[in-house]
Amino acid sequence: MWHVALNISFFEERGIHNTLTNISLFLTTEGRNFLQHSLILMGEIGGNDYNYPLERGKSLQVTQLFGTAIVDSIGSAIQLGAKTILVPGNFPIGCIPTFLTKFEKSSSKKDYDSTTGYLNWLNKLSIYHNELLQKELTRVQKLHPYVHIIYADYYNVALRLYFSPTYKDILRACCGAGGPYNFNDLVRCGQPGATCCNDPSTFTTQGLLQGPYTTPGFKDICPSIAISSPAAQVYEY
């Protein structure tokens, strides 16, 4: 199920109608029960809250305003009874074929990293979000010293993967419908006209961390984990 961290009304009040979901994690009875009785992996929290506005053409300045509201939503999980929470940060979204394609025509050479070809301003949005997230986790941890809060550094782990010599094509999607980044919003993977690469293990982008489509190499890397709670353990997964 495709969820967002913020209430749907947050987006509607700002003129953003999300056609992919009308479900917030904190509006369902099942969600409340789940939080109260589980080890919670909240992640990567806020990613979809940024992705949808960006895909619908909202400016970086408008999208950044969502940051504080997104990280504030973490406290709601604790209020509902969560005791141990693993909170991953956002990925370097300037490396994702979806956005590289979306902003290709509106971007100039100076917008890209000269070495990797990633969109710098989008990666800066991820860094901005992750810094806000860690500050919020520190604040919430002080308010709830008996709750274990663990921050997972997805951003830098993903960059390690992107820079790995194992992968031959770091900017193109394995499954898509052509173009510089093999992404076409009108022909998604699995739809007529889309084709799949012969060896997904050599591509970084194939539903990164998404269920059965997880890039094998990502699962083999133990991410570095920043701990927000002195009582928490270091998790390697």
DSSP states along 132-169: HHHHHHHHHHHH-TTSEEEEE-HHHHHHHHHH-TT-SE
At 43, list the tokens: 């992640």
In-domain check, residue 199: no
- Give the total number of structural domains in the chain: 1
pLDDT at 35 over 70: no
> So what's the pLDDT on residue 233?
39
35 occurs within a structural domain: yes
Domain membership of residue 197 (yes or no) is no
144-166 as b/e: b if 16+ CB within 10 A: beebbbbbbbbbebbbebbeeee
CA-to-CA dists, residue 110 to 27, 28, 114, 205, angstroms: 42, 44, 8, 24
207 falls within a domain: no
- Give the separation between CA 117 and CA 9, rounded to whole angstroms: 36
> pLDDT confidence of 28, banded at 50, 70, 90?
low
Q: Which domain holds residue 22?
A: 8-166+222-227
More confident residue, 105 or 58: 105
Going from the C-alpha of 222 to that of each of 154, 157, 163, 193, the distances in angstroms are 10, 8, 16, 36
Helical pair 154-163 and 120-143, crossing angle rounded to 10 deg: 150
Contact assessment for residue 157 and residue 173, using Cβ atoms and an 8 Å cutoff = no
Instruction: Name the pLDDT band for 230 (thresholds 50, 70, 90).
Output: very low
Across 145-156, average pLDDT = 87
pLDDT tier for residue 111 given thresholds of 50, 70 and 90: very high
Closest Cα partner for 121 from 108, 133, 131, 132?
108
Average pLDDT value over all residues in the chain: 71
**Span 11-29, average pLDDT:** 55
Q: Bigger pLDDT: 178 or 27?
A: 178
What value does the mean pLDDT take over residues 144-168?
82
Give yes or no for residue 116 having a pLDDT over 80: yes
Residue 174 lies in a domain: no
Q: Is residue 184 assigned to a domain?
A: no
With respect to residue 232, please indicate whether it lies within any of the assigned structural domains.
no
Element of type H or E holding 205: strand 203-205
Answer whether 218's CB lies under 8 Å from 208's CB: yes
Model pTM score: 0.69
* Element counts in the chain: helices (H) and strands (E): 10, 8
Between 111 and 46, whose confidence is greater? 111
The predicted pLDDT at position 72 comes to 65
Residue 211 belongs to some domain of the structure: no
Both tokens of residue 149? 């809060």
State the Cα torsion 164-168-101-4 to the nearest 10°: -50
CB 120 within 8 A of CB 113: yes
**Residue 202 token pair:** 């050599």
Position with higher pLDDT, 150 vs 12: 150
d(CA 226, CA 188): 35
